[in-house]
Amino acid sequence: MKRILCITGTRADFGKLKPLLAYIENHPDLELHLIVTGMHMMKTYGRTYKEVTRENYQHTYLFSNQIQGEPMGAVLGNTITLISRLSDEIEPDMVMIHGDRLEALAGATVGALSSRLVCHIEGGELSGTVDDSIRHSISKLSHIHLVANEQAVTRLVQMGEKRKHIHIIGSPDLDVMASSTLPSLEEVKEYYGLPYENYGISMFHPVTTEAHLMPQYAAQYFKALELSGQNIISIYPNNDTGTESILQELLKYQSDKFIAFPSIRFEYFLVLLKHAKFMVGNSSAGIREAPLYGVPSINVGTRQSNRHMGKSIIHTDYETKNIFDAIQQACSLGKFEADDTFNGGDTRTSTERFAEVINNPETWNVSAQKRFIDLNL
């Protein structure tokens, strides 16, 4: 029996991990241990740990790692301590983390320093912010890489990672997007009390390196949404530095045409996204999920500036007029063909490709002592 310790800190990473967590949980030779922390535990963001516990995983651990407004460095220290103590009790064979969040960095640090295999999902990606540095740091602490596509493979190889330890599985949330068990739009609208026939979705997060400018950017952004005259479903920003100014501005604009939620269940969010006129903001969902549904998206500012930009994505700066114009353009475009860039060009599901890796004995024989692989320069 192999024990896998997984960590989720946000509504977003849990949604992406769910298909893989279900596979591990139901595998006769694997034992899932899931740490739930970060934004999941915070009242401001809807206490989304309830969404995790609803899945009834056999081994789930709820940990609060921060108080509102606590510096990120302190939160990282708290999280490392929590994960380290639990890891010593569980003695996992593998620590599995996702993305570029602080909780993933803490998990990778604990795993690497305790000589446990670390498996990183969706390394090798680019954004345009400090998140890049965190994601790449996690990759350097990891032994096994499960990536979305060939571009991610190339970047990890450039970083000195061994090619045979990098596996393309696509983006796991695409399995959820293609699921036949998603609720209907009518169910979702009834659950959240949404009256709109037509609407756009807004997700605007802080950019840590631009935190001092977030009050100005947020004011310009939400003013543009108001001026557009469109019905807007908005989701609260994440808890990175600068979030308070965004949330303060967002709450000013709540009205019959602007409804805000601390969080929306991942499957319900996907249904709303699929039927939206457009998506606007700086979330990766506008770069990944929206194009797969053919929904036009407006990418605002620098947070995703180095990501793949498909033809359905309109890029703009933080100026109110430019955001307004981009919304008008998106509304005139209609739906696009699906863009599956983040599926790795494979017809198999992400879960099927994950299973191939996790069931391969060679995966478990990877040495905890990493070696830097030089390119032939």
Active-site annotation, residues: 212
CA distances from 242 to 77, 218, 238, 357 (A): 20, 10, 9, 39
Cα atoms in the 13 Å half-sphere on the side-chain side of 280 = 31
- DSSP state at residue 98: E
User: Rounded distance, CA 139 to CA 144, Å?
Assistant: 9
| CA distance between the termini of the chain | 43
CA 316 to chain centre: 22
- DSSP state at residue 142: -
The pair phi, psi for residue 118, each rounded to 5°, is -115, 125
Q: What is the largest CA-CA distance in the chain?
A: 60
- 284: helix, coil or strand? helix
Structure tokens at 77: 């220290």
In the chain, % helix, strand, coil (3-state, to 5) comes to 45, 15, 40
User: Rounded distance, CA 238 to CA 202, Å?
Assistant: 13
**Residue 86 · residue 111 · CB < 8 Å:** no
Structure tokens at 182: 């998603």
